[in-house]
Amino acid sequence: MSEKAFQDYYQDHFSHCYGCGRLNEHGLHIKSFWDGEESICIFHPKPYHTAIPGYVYGGLIASIIDCHCTGTAAAATYRAESREMDTEPSVRFLTASLHVDYLRPTPLGVPLEIRAKVKEIKRRKVVIAALLSAQGTVCARGEVVAVHVPEHLMSKGTSQDLTRAKRRRK
Amino acid sequence: MSEKAFQDYYQDHFSHCYGCGRLNEHGLHIKSFWDGEESICIFHPKPYHTAIPGYVYGGLIASIIDCHCTGTAAAATYRAESREMDTEPSVRFLTASLHVDYLRPTPLGVPLEIRAKVKEIKRRKVVIAALLSAQGTVCARGEVVAVHVPEHLMSKGTSQDLTRAKRRRK
């Protein structure tokens, strides 16, 4: 397994994500790593991440799959270009679509393992397929279509960042 | 618009959901109402529910669509049977599949409006389609296939509930 999480390579500007940003103090801090040709994420839901008592909330499952797959899309792009994730130009993805099939209720109180594979990698989009398991049993199956973050958001920051920067200058 | 939220009719056992359970103190407390033939949910993301700065986290969008649609599936079933949501037998749904298309980045800092419609209502499943808007612009489109909570979970509670009940008896 790779040592440093994909998300820990993200620039500060992209590290505020509620799902996986290291700078979001309220967030889930989802971390993804390579494990051979697959990427892997181990996630420990909190006791309050419940659907019906004893089972994991489906929205959390969707969130983990989403961040793990967009992270995998970025990592796979660097890998396809034979370069490290801390090299320029930097690459980040947004989710264009997310699909989750909930195959069975996911038990709460055990670590969840999410494994993802690249289904398709093209210039404009990357498709990632994921399986989420608990105690060796697959509980959910996901697919994410990830697209590159538009250039103006990559290079200039968002309007909110610019507003903040302008305020600081005053 | 109906006065009492769909989720406020759920029995206590089904009110611990992180997305919409009134008894989950850490949860999102998603509330859904009828507005004619559509159901509506207004949600105010927290400042930390961020994707890239200035925009709403996609996993949160998936979560709101999920709970709003399963709530709508339940409400629509009662409505199809011409009875109120506090009458027996009680009806609850789980998500079999969730699909979200993220059409454009969703701005953070404004209320989100989610409107849902019944696409299909059958004995075993209900299909709900939803649109999520911010300031009048549709930002995401979702579809949920909802299935009835299995009988053993409706009537007996989960294994965790039973364990707790046993502990109390000791």
Chains A, B: CB contacts within 8 A come to: 152
Say which of B25, B55, B66 has its CB closest to residue A58.
B66
Whole-angstrom distance, CA of residue A62 vs CA of residue A99: 8
Closest CA of chain A from B19, distance in Å: 7
Note the pLDDT of residue A157: 47
Picking from A116, A68, A59, A122, the residue whose alpha carbon sits closest to that of residue A95 is: A68
The domain segmentation of chain A, as residue ranges, is 6-169
Interface test with A, best of B52, B110, B143, B158 (most A CBs within 10 A): B52
> Token digits for A16?
């505020």
A100 touches chain B (CB under 8 A): yes
Q: Which residues of B touch A18 (CB under 8 A)?
A: 48-51, 57, 59-60
Q: Which amino acid is at B33?
A: F
Q: Residue B130 pairs with which residues in a beta bridge?
A: B116, B142
Picking from A41, A57, A61, the residue whose alpha carbon sits closest to that of residue A117 is: A41
Sign of CA dihedral A154, A158, A162, A168: negative
Residues A118 and A43 sit within 8 Å (Cβ to Cβ)? no
Note the pLDDT of residue A168: 39
Q: What is the ipTM of this complex?
A: 0.90
Whether A66 sits inside 8 A of B66 (CB atoms) is no
Q: Which amino acid is at A59?
A: G
Residues B15 and B71 sit within 8 Å (Cβ to Cβ)? no
Picking from A101, A98, A99, the residue whose alpha carbon sits closest to that of residue A147 is: A98
What pLDDT, in 10s, does the model give residues B3-57?
Answer: 899 999 988 988 999 999 999 999 999 999 999 999 999 999 999 999 999 999 9
Closest CA of chain B from A116, distance in Å: 17
Q: Is the pLDDT of residue A159 over 90?
A: no
pLDDT confidence tier of residue A2, bands split at 50, 70 and 90: low
The domain over range A6-169 is classified in CATH as 3.10.129.10: yes
Picking from A67, A84, A66, the residue whose alpha carbon sits closest to that of residue A2 is: A84
- pLDDT average, residue stretch B95-120: 98
Note the pLDDT of residue A165: 35
What pLDDT, in 10s, does the model give residues A118-129?
Answer: 999 998 899 999
- pLDDT average, residue stretch B111-120: 98
> Tell me, what DSSP letter sits at residue A26?
T
Whole-angstrom distance, CA of residue A164 vs CA of residue B8: 40
Q: Is the pLDDT of residue B83 over 80?
A: yes
B155 or B47, greater pLDDT: B47
